[in-house]
Structure 1
């Protein structure tokens, strides 16, 4: 006796690349050179342009949150977004790190450049590795990576803002805010290295045919 035909599977709609989340991602990429110019204007010592740079950086971090939430909520995740979103994030934070290393406020230039090189090598290395295995397995962001991203954004935003350049009655408050930013940066650097190690470990396990930590948790 012949088996009844299986009901047609619903066709999953492929979202168009022309959507709001992708537009916000593209906007962040376009903002990068303007942010860099504002940050480095007059050697980074112009208070007005430093505040403008801070506003651009804050907007970039805000749109990063918004476009991700919109894409997931409305099923607008696209291949373009998967590639462009991390590039936009790393371009903006990378410009902030490099710009702050050039200006070298609060900390000596050698320390800024050491932190910048360590963080950018890790960030871009993980991004390229994640994209290279995206068709095989999706490596979800772990909690440590999410905390790292938050601390990194707070630290960079705190240093981009010219708090330590304020004078008069605001000088003490500005210095305190830069010290808080330095603490956030220290936490971000530690989490950057540890989460990078965790990601590299999971990639090695995947390449060797062994289950990653996430896969083992799903199997448990």
Structure 2
């Protein structure tokens, strides 16, 4: 059970996201019960993000699936809820567009080298996720004064800047991992030919 619990939590997070987005859209900016439930699900999903990684490291059951699925679950959570906020609350669209390009690029790059090497989340990537989730939670809290939306906005801007910087860093790691793999393959072929 200890080996699968972190991965189950990651899967649970993936299930919570569409429910939270539907609740947000159903609420339509009315700050009613549906928005409160969306907020609860996003907070729970954010908690599972921390908990699954903590348990995997503590129990020494870090898996390749978890290293790959956990960041994907984070991306689905952030992009899904942010898209809902853009639609419902009129949050500016451009951070969402930048984040989509970054997340798709990093995910495709990770998947391209996944059979050879797993590139885990970096500290910068974790900071980005923390800033994003803090922003989303601040935006989701119903009935907050306008300055809270201002704080949420600047957290989102900071997250977007960190996303671009870490996206460039991930691109370098992906290129390096791909190059190292090709060089190792070439050395094996050269050794076999001797």
TM range (shorter): 0.7 to 0.9
Q: TM-score, normalised by structure 1?
A: 0.73
Does structure 1 conserve the Cα–Cα contact (< 8 Å) formed by 2:99 and 2:160? Answer: yes
Unaligned runs of 5+ in 2: 182-194
**Cα–Cα, structure 1 residues 206 and 76, in superposed 2: closer, same or farther, change >3 Å?**
closer
Q: Compare CA radii of gyration and give the structure with the larger one.
A: 1
**Cα–Cα, structure 1 residues 89 and 139, in superposed 2: closer, same or farther, change >3 Å?**
same
C-alpha distance after superposition, 1:127-162 (max 9, x if no partner): 231232134334343332222111111011111222
More helix per residue:
2
* Distance of 2:122 and 2:138 partners within structure 1: 24
* Distance of 2:14 and 2:168 partners within structure 1: 27
Unaligned runs of 5+ in 1: 1-15, 167-172, 211-220
Partner of 1:202: 173
1:41, CA displacement in angstroms? 1.3
RMSD, aligned CA: 2.3
Within the candidate set 100, 106, 110, 1:126 is matched to 106
C-alpha distance after superposition, 1:24-67 (max 9, x if no partner): 11111111221111111132324222121111101101011101
* Distance of 1:141 and 1:81 partners within structure 2: 11
Partner of 1:54: 39
Is 2:11 the counterpart of 1:31? no
Is 2:161 the counterpart of 1:181? no
Which of structures 1 and 2 has the larger relative contact order (alpha carbons within 8 angstroms, sep 6+)?
Answer: 2
Partner of 1:73: 58
Corresponding residue pairs, total: 181
